Structure formats: C-alpha cells, structure tokens
C-alpha cells in the first residue's frame, strides 16, 4: 500500500497557465515502464518518510501549569473548512482523453467490440474493475486480464494525455499556502495519480496522496476517503470541518459515508442529478474559491 506524501519535497513548482492547454507529452521512450514504476515508487516512499518525520518532530509539551489554552486551528479565520479532500479525474484534471483511448485499446486487445465514446465516458470516475463488471459484463478472470492490459497502456501513454482545468493548479497552490491540510482522494491507483500530479508540477502541494490500492481492494470512494482520513489524522490534521470536492455521485456518497459534506463541481463528468445531496455546486473555480474561503 502506498504511503502518504507531503507537499514539502524537492520538486520546483512552476506557474500553470490559466489557458486550458492540452499537454499530452509521453514519457521518454528511453526509459522502460519498470524504471518509471520503480522511480515513482521510490519518490512516494521518500515523501512518506518526510511526512512521518514531520509528524514526529513536534516539540515536547511544557508542564501542565505552563501550557497555553487550547486553540482549534482555523477557528477564527475565514476558512470554513479545516481539511480538504480533492478528487482528481473530472475535478482537477480532464483525464477523459487518456482514459477513453486506453479503454478502447483494452477492448480491442481483448477481442471485444469498442463501446461508443459516450459509453466510455461513463467509465471515468468509478473504480475501473466495477465498470468492467457492471458496464461490460466481464467475468472475474476477464476483469483481471482487462485491468492488466489497461494499466500497462495507461502508465505508458494515457496518464499523460490529460489537461489541467483552468485555475485548478493555482487553487491547489493557494490551499497549500493557506495551510489547510489537503489530500487527494481518487479511485485512480496512487501510482498513476502521483505521476499525473507530478506531470503538472502540483504534487508537492498535497499533504497526502490517497488513491486505490494496487490490488484494487481499496477502490470504492468510501474506502479511499477512509484511508485519506487515517493519513490526515496521522499528521495531526484538524478534521473538525472536512469537505470533499468532486464531480460524481461516487464522491458525494463516499464522503457522506463518513459524515463529510461534498462541494460538487459542474465542469467534470457528472450529471446534475448526481449533485442532489451535495452541500453546494461550483460552476467555475471562482465559485469554488468563494466556497472554500481561499
């Protein structure tokens, strides 16, 4: 299981254009898939080690008679939420091109007819194994083979065929600058999620990167949110007023399972009916900023 990561790494943040520019640069062909996998795994371990050191480096408490009154972080600030859980596909990035192209390749490789593009878009967001079962009617053995083909192709090409939604890079950086604990909470496996965030030079602004486990045992959104909360508690984040930000009903329901409200974003892949139980709906990043007080 991948460990948590923090924003304090050696990556150099660069400004992200507010224009929606398609960035589909593939990784260098001279590197093997194994090397990229091992390199990303090594970086995740380094981030996790730094997070653990930071969590355990707090100064010892003074004697009881000298202790200052307890103050709840953010209690007297403009920020309405004390921790933020952020979805990836359809919320931070438009990942559909890479996902749908990889799905089409997977169906062809398995000798199956390729579904229409509108149908492939419905695979974006939910756990991929669930979609192979519920939408393609695959058996367990077929799903496992499809997942193997899909992941290899996606790591090689699809993960880099995405677009950062206008303003989201700046928002992520401003959340970090405000000191609000920030965790990614995605049903995408942690490795490709990390590679994508690094591709857009925003990985270092997340305290935690939480995604599906490599074996897909943890892939349902409620399980991902549960793991994100565990990791946030481990770094002593204030979880008195957390919020989820996402674009699908899976985000709303997964967060609600833990008593967490969701701010839905309308620029992703969800239909308006999916936001019926969201606390609020943001139609652009400006509205989202206002709701977050950032």
Q: Which of 33-37, 38-42, 149-153 has the highest mean pLDDT?
A: 149-153
What are residue 182's DSSP bridge partners? 84
Q: Each residue of 201-212: b (16+ CB within 10 Å) or e?
A: bbbbbbbbbbbb
Q: What is the pLDDT of residues 138-197, one digit of tens each?
A: 999 999 999 999 999 998 888 889 999 999 999 999 999 999 999 999 999 999 999 999
> What are 211's two structure tokens?
């995604």
Mean pLDDT of 106-113: 97
Determine the straight-line distance between the first and last CA of the chain, rounded to whole angstroms: 32
Q: What is the distance between the alpha carbons of residues 198 and 55, in angstroms, rounded to a whole number?
A: 23
* pLDDT > 60? residue 60: no
pTM assigned to the model:
0.72
Do β-strands 208-212 and 242-246 pair in parallel, antiparallel, or remain unpaired? Answer: unpaired
Mean pLDDT of 92-118: 96
Collapse the DSSP code of 243 into the 3-class scheme (helix H, G, I; strand E, B; otherwise coil) and give the result. strand
Q: What is the pLDDT of residues 267-293, one digit of tens each?
A: 999 999 999 999 999 999 999 999 999
> Any idea which residue has 């749908």 for tokens?
100
Give the helix/strand (H/E) hosting 192. Answer: helix 190-199
The answer to whether 193 and 219 are in contact (CB under 8 A) is no
* Of residues 227, 216, 215, 270, the one with CA closest to residue 245: 270
Neighbour-count burial of 234, counting CB atoms closer than 10 A to its CB (0-12 exposed, 13-18 middle, 19+ buried): middle
Secondary structure letter of residue 81 according to DSSP: -
* pLDDT > 70? residue 137: yes
Residue 5: band (very low, low, confident or very high) from pLDDT cuts 50, 70, 90: very low
Residue 46: band (very low, low, confident or very high) from pLDDT cuts 50, 70, 90: low
Residue 15: band (very low, low, confident or very high) from pLDDT cuts 50, 70, 90: very low
* pLDDT > 60? residue 11: no
Neighbour-count burial of 31, counting CB atoms closer than 10 A to its CB (0-12 exposed, 13-18 middle, 19+ buried): exposed
Largest CA distance in the chain: 73
* pLDDT > 90? residue 210: yes
To the nearest whole percent, how much of the chain has pLDDT over 90? 67
* pLDDT > 90? residue 97: yes
> What are 264's two structure tokens?
């839905």
Q: Which residues have CB under 8 Å from 131's CB, separation 6+?
A: 122, 123
The answer to whether 160 and 23 are in contact (CB under 8 A) is yes
The answer to whether 172 and 202 are in contact (CB under 8 A) is yes
Q: What pLDDT sits at residue 222?
A: 97
Measure the CA angle with vertex 219, ends 218 and 222; round to 5°.
90
Residue 43: band (very low, low, confident or very high) from pLDDT cuts 50, 70, 90: low
* pLDDT > 90? residue 1: no
Secondary structure letter of residue 263 according to DSSP: E
32 or 195, greater pLDDT: 195
């Amino acid at each position: 299981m991948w460990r948590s990561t923090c924003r304090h790494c050696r990556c150099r943040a660069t400004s992200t254009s507010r224009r929606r520019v398609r960035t589909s640069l593939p990784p260098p062909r001279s590197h093997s898939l194994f090397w990229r996998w091992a390199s990303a795994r090594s970086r995740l371990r380094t981030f996790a080690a730094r997070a653990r050191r930071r969590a355990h480096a707090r100064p010892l408490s003074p004697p009881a008679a000298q202790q200052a009154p307890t103050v709840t972080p953010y209690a007297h600030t403009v920020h309405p939420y004390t921790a933020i859980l952020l979805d990836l596909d359809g919320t931070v990035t438009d990942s559909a091109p890479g996902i749908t192209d990889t799905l089409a390749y997977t169906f062809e490789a398995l000798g199956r007819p390729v579904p229409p593009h509108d149908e492939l878009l419905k695979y974006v967001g939910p756990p991929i194994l669930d979609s192979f079962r519920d939408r393609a009617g695959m058996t367990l053995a077929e799903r496992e083979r499809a997942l193997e083909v899909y992941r290899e192709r996606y790591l090689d090409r699809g993960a880099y065929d995405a677009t950062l939604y206008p303003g989201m890079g700046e928002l992520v950086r401003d959340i970090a600058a405000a000191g609000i604990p920030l965790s990614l909470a995605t049903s995408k496996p942690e490795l490709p999620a990390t590679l994508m965030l690094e591709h857009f030079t925003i990985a270092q602004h997340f305290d935690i990167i939480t995604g599906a486990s490599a074996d897909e045992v943890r892939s349902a959104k409620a399980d991902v949110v549960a793991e994100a909360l565990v990791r946030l508690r481990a770094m002593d984040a204030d979880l008195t007023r957390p919020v989820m930000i996402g674009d699908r009903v899976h985000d709303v329901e997964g967060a609600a399972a833990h008593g967490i409200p969701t701010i839905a974003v309308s620029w992703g892949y969800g239909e308006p009916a999916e936001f019926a139980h969201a606390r609020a709906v943001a139609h652009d990043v400006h509205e989202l900023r206002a709701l977050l007080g950032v």
